[in-house]
Structure formats: C-alpha cells, structure tokens
C-alpha cells in the first residue's frame, strides 16, 4: 500500500526522537510563550515547503517529505548553542582514548543519521539517509554546499527548504521576543522578497521552482536546484541580518551561555558516571563518550535544565 519513501516517512513519524522535537528549541531556549517555533514546528514547515517545491518540479514528494521530517532528529537541546557546547566537549577528548570522538566533535546532521541508523534502527532507504546527513549548511551562502551535497535533487531541495523556513519563522520569533521590529528588516529584503511572512515564503518558493525548472532544462544539461541572482542575494542579506541581530545578538549571550553551561555540566557529569545513564536510547557496548553524547543530544530543553539542576549545577 505504501512506497518505500512513504514507509520511511511513517517510521520517522512514529520514532521517539521525532516526538521529542516538540520540546527542543529552534532559537529561543525553553521559551515561555505558546507561539515560539520549536524543532517540531520547524520540521513540519520544512516538510511543507519541500513538498511544494518537489511537486512543482515533478520530483518525488514522498522522498522530500521523509528527509525533511528526519533532518533534525539528532539536534541536541538548546539549538546551536547546545550543539556547539557538545562539539567542544567531544573535541576536547581527542587523543585521550582509542576510537575517540571524530575531529569535528559533534554535528547534528550526522547525529540525525545515527539516530535513524543505530539508535532507533528505522531501516530507511539510502536516498532518505543521504539527504538527512547532507542537510547542514554553511553560513556564507544559503545555497553553499556546506558539509556535503545530497545525491538526489529532493535532498538538495530539503536543504534549501530548511533555510527558507528558518530565516522566515525566526523573524516572527525575534519580533515576538522584542528583539527586532518589522521595519528594521533591510530594504533589499522587503523590496525583493516582500514585507510579510507569507510574501517572503511565496517569493522564495516560486523563485526556487522557476530557477530550478529552467536550470534542469527538462533533462537537458545538468540538474540544479537554486535561486535567481537577485532573490539569492536578498535571501543571503536576510540570513546575515538574522545572524547579526538575533542569532549572535549580545542580549542572547547570557541565555546561550546558560545553555552551554548546562550541556557541559551534563556531559562531564555522565562521562565520569556513565553507569548512571538510565535510557534505552544508548548502546551499552559503546565507549562512554559515545553513550554520553547520545544521551545528552537526545534530551529536550526542559529535561536538560531540570537534570542539570537536580545533579548540582548552580543557577
């Protein structure tokens, strides 16, 4: 009754890691308001945008949906602040033991692949797995290859859909938090992409479809997923604006530092006492650093904060 990619989608939807996304931060750490974006709502938006683009390009909508739903399963608590802290802790262990952590420490895309392959053993197709592990992006360009390029066009669409989703919904969260105002958006952005959330999404999605359809050439020449020069420039300006005014904003440093401190504390605590890890989300035969990384990465924001406080981290 189902295609292989529909089966992949359903297995991801029923996974434990997918359920936990509802309590993992997108940008703001353990926000109090009901309308802030979480990893779960972000993931659903990426899936919706990815489906729209793939359908318009006559590509495999089920493959894009499955990859989008799985692309953030391995993201640790506290967004990129938590990811950075976990990466730093793992890098510090290099050379201290055989089969130690990888040089890069921790990357959420690779952890997402580990979740579906090893921790939950979902037995997904290689196309979905390839799209998941190649979903990360570099900062300098919204279309930059970053940490790898997916082998399928659908996988490349998911990477673009991820960026289209977060640079737009993060604007709403930042305004909700009082960090920026709508009129502060760069004029190049509002003039090219639009001055409302729906307009910006509409412009970006249509541009990706029109550019990619032309670049693909209906089988003539190399297939390519991208944006037109003007829209890409505006999208990169918006992304850099968000980095400067929201993601790296000085006012969020205290919040980010608190998140990093909690991750560092938990990692070091359990590394010294791996026998205290009570979870079916780790593999007992793995080395301690691997079990601790899997355990901490699987935590939600609130669980991590509560655990750190219970184990002795001072506020």
Residue owning tokens 């683009």? 53
Domain coordinates in residue numbering, the chain: 4-251
Looking at every residue in the chain, the average pLDDT score rounds to 89
Mean pLDDT across 50-55: 97
30 pLDDT above the threshold of 70: no
Contact 24, 6 (CB under 8 A): no
Residue predicted with more confidence, 9 or 145: 9
Confidence of residue 80 (pLDDT cuts 50, 70, 90): confident
217 pLDDT above the threshold of 80: no
Q: How far apart are CA 216 and CA 165, in angstroms?
A: 23
pLDDT at 249: 65
Confidence of residue 21 (pLDDT cuts 50, 70, 90): very high
Confidence of residue 221 (pLDDT cuts 50, 70, 90): very low
3 pLDDT above the threshold of 80: yes
253 pLDDT above the threshold of 80: no
At residue 110, the 3 state secondary structure works out as helix
pLDDT at 314: 75
**Which residues, 6 or more positions from 292, have their beta carbon under 8 angstroms from its beta carbon?**
267, 270, 271, 274, 277
Domain 4-251 CATH assignment equals 1.10.3210.10: yes
Contact 234, 203 (CB under 8 A): no
Return the percentage of the chain with pLDDT > 70, whole number.
91
Choose the weakest-confidence range: 193-202, 222-231, 257-266: 222-231
Q: Put residue 120 in one of left, alpha, beta given phi > 0 → left and psi -120 to 50 → alpha.
A: alpha
Confidence of residue 173 (pLDDT cuts 50, 70, 90): confident
User: What are the DSSP E strand ranges found in 76-128?
Assistant: none
Q: How far apart are CA 79 and CA 166, in angstroms?
A: 12
Contact 42, 28 (CB under 8 A): no
Choose the weakest-confidence range: 197-206, 227-236, 255-264: 255-264
19 pLDDT above the threshold of 80: yes
Confidence of residue 115 (pLDDT cuts 50, 70, 90): very high
155 pLDDT above the threshold of 80: yes
Residue predicted with more confidence, 103 or 310: 310
245 pLDDT above the threshold of 50: yes
203 pLDDT above the threshold of 60: yes
Confidence of residue 79 (pLDDT cuts 50, 70, 90): confident
pLDDT at 25: 83
């Amino acid at each position: 009754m189902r295609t292989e990619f529909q089966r992949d989608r359903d297995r991801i939807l029923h996974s434990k890691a997918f359920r936990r996304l509802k309590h993992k931060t997108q940008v703001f750490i353990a926000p109090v308001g009901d309308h802030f974006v979480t990893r779960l709502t972000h993931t659903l938006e990426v899936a919706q945008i990815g489906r729209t683009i793939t359908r318009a390009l006559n590509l495999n909508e089920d493959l894009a949906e499955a990859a989008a739903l799985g692309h953030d399963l391995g993201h640790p608590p506290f967004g990129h602040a938590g990811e950075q802290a976990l990466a730093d802790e793992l890098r510090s262990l290099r050379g201290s033991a055989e089969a130690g952590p990888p040089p890069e420490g921790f990357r959420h895309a690779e952890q997402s692949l580990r979740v579906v392959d090893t921790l939950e053993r979902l037995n997904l197709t290689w196309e979905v797995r390839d799209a998941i592990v190649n979903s990360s992006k570099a900062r300098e360009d919204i279309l930059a290859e970053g940490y790898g390029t997916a082998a399928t066009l659908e996988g490349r669409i998911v990477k673009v859909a991820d960026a289209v989703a977060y640079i737009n919904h993060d604007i709403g969260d930042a305004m909700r938090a009082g960090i920026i105002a709508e009129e502060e958006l760069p004029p190049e952005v509002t003039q090219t992409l639009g001055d409302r959330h729906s307009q910006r999404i509409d412009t970006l999605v249509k541009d990706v479809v029109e550019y990619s359809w032309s670049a693909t050439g209906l089988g003539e020449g190399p297939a390519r997923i991208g944006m037109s020069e003007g829209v890409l420039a505006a999208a990169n300006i918006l992304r850099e604006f968000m980095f400067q005014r929201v993601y790296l904003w000085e006012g969020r440093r205290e919040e980010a530092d608190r998140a990093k401190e909690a991750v560092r504390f938990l990692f070091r605590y359990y590394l010294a006492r791996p026998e205290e890890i009570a979870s079916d989300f780790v593999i007992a035969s793995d080395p301690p650093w691997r079990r601790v990384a899997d355990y901490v990465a699987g935590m939600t924001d609130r669980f991590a904060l509560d655990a750190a406080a219970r184990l002795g981290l001072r506020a």
